Amino acid sequence: MPKTAYINNKYVNFKNAKIHIEDRGLQFADSVYEVIAVLNGNLIDLDFHLKRLRYSLAELDIKYKFYHNDLKKIFLKLLNKNNTLNGIIYLQVTRGVQYREHKYEDKITPTLIIYTRNKKFNLPGKNFKGVNTVTHEDLRWKRRDIKTVNLLPNIIAANKAKKMKAYEAILLKNGKVTEGTSSNIWIIKKNNLITHPANTDILKGVTRTSILKIIKKTSLKLVEKSFTHKQLLDADEVFLTSSGSFITPILKIDKKKINNGKIGNITLKLAEMYTKSCMNG
């Protein structure tokens, strides 16, 4: 358990870190968040995370203003206090505390919550693992591009995965793959690397954005186009990406093995390239 959290301008004991019962984050999921990976003390893709945070806040009209460097200083201080060298930073901004009413007041002060957790990541090397997945209907609302804590449909699908002893659930909308419950999904077919376009149907992953840059250094052809459940099962290789999982190979989807249940060469190469770029800061 971490020692320290940061709530509304104060470093507090993690065990006693509390927010008010009328916080709108609690009552309405009126709240946005970010999960930032920390690898060897490096804050991975911080600029992209803070850019997406500004986007989520603006889309929901949550009036939290911040300076990049102020947040970075808090992150570094918390990592230090919690002895986190490898792990994640969790940040959440709620609209704030107000008497319970669906409509919000204009002058409400947002609640800021930040803490860190140690985590061992799945990185290429001798312990690099592939995972099993299941599929599940995508039950979410129409603004999946906003990173809100409104995550019940994700949680239902993730727990189906847990029950089936799988790592992640891949979400299907009208027979097409959108993304995972907390990851983006990619397939490789011949020389094509295919992933869902970054529109309102998915969260534009920060890891996804970084990988798009890396692909330019390879001979792979990027196709940002939605793909079907059948294309998913027929793919040569499949992998998922997120700040918590980096690039993680998918070896099985429901009952179907991918690449004979082995980590594919292209996935491995991309994972190596991405990890190297993270290590170099």
- The stretch near ligand PDD (CB under 6 A) out of 75-83, 106-114, 177-185, 273-281 is 177-185
Tell me whether residue 132 or residue 184 sits nearer to ligand PDD (CB atom): 184
Smallest gap from residue 119 Cβ to ligand PDD (A) = 11
| Cβ–Cβ < 8 Å for 223, 187 | no
| Count of chain residues binding ligand PDD (CB under 6 A) | 14
What is the Cβ-side half-sphere exposure of residue 238, based on CA atoms within 13 angstroms?
A: 30
C-beta separation of 37 from 248 below 8 A: no
Q: Write down the least CB distance from residue 73 to ligand PDD, Å.
A: 22
For residue 105, the minimal CB distance to ligand PDD (Å) is 28
CB nearer to ligand PDD: pick between 211 and 253: 211
Using the rule CB under 6 A, is 79 a contact of ligand PDD? Answer: no
Q: Is 248 in the site for ligand PDD (CB under 6 A)?
A: no
- What CA–CA distance (Å, rounded) separates 216 from 64? 35
> Is there binding between residue 168 and ligand PDD (CB under 6 A)?
no
Among 31, 94, 132, 242, binds ligand PDD (CB under 6 A): 242
Which one from 18, 81, 107, 147 is the annotated catalytic residue? 147
For residues 178-237, which are near ligand PDD according to CB under 6 A?
A: 179, 182-184, 203, 205-208
Interface map 80-99 toward ligand PDD (x if CB under 6 A): --------------------
Tell me the C-alpha distance between 166 and 145, whole Å: 25
Q: Give the span between the Cα atoms of 124 and 160, in whole angstroms.
A: 27
137 and 145 Cβ atoms separated by less than 8 Å = no
Q: How many CB atoms lie within 10 A of CB 114?
A: 21
* In contact, 113 and 74? CB cutoff 8 Å: no
Q: Name which position in 35, 108, 156, 214 contacts ligand PDD (CB under 6 A).
A: 35
Query: Among 25, 110, 244, 249, which residue sits at the site for ligand PDD (rule: CB under 6 A)?
Result: 244
Instruction: Give 77's DSSP letter.
Output: H
Name which of 108 and 118 has its Cβ closer to ligand PDD: 118
- Residue with smaller CB distance to ligand PDD, 112 or 177: 177
From the list 110, 101, 112, 86, the residue with the least C-alpha distance to 244 is 86
Does residue 132 belong to the site contacting ligand PDD (CB under 6 A)?
no
147 assigned to active site: yes
In terms of CB distance, is 97 or 170 closer to ligand PDD?
170
Radius of gyration of the chain (CA): 19
Within 10 Å of residue 207's Cβ, how many Cβ atoms? 23
Given its phi and psi angles, is residue 98 left (phi above 0), alpha (psi -120 to 50 degrees) or beta?
Answer: beta
Q: Which amino acid is at 275?
A: T
- Which DSSP string do the residues of 74-93 spell out, in sequence order? HHHHHHHHTT-SSEEEEEEE
| Binding residues vs ligand PDD (CB under 6 A) | 35, 179, 182-184, 203, 205-208, 241-244
Catalytic residue numbers? 147
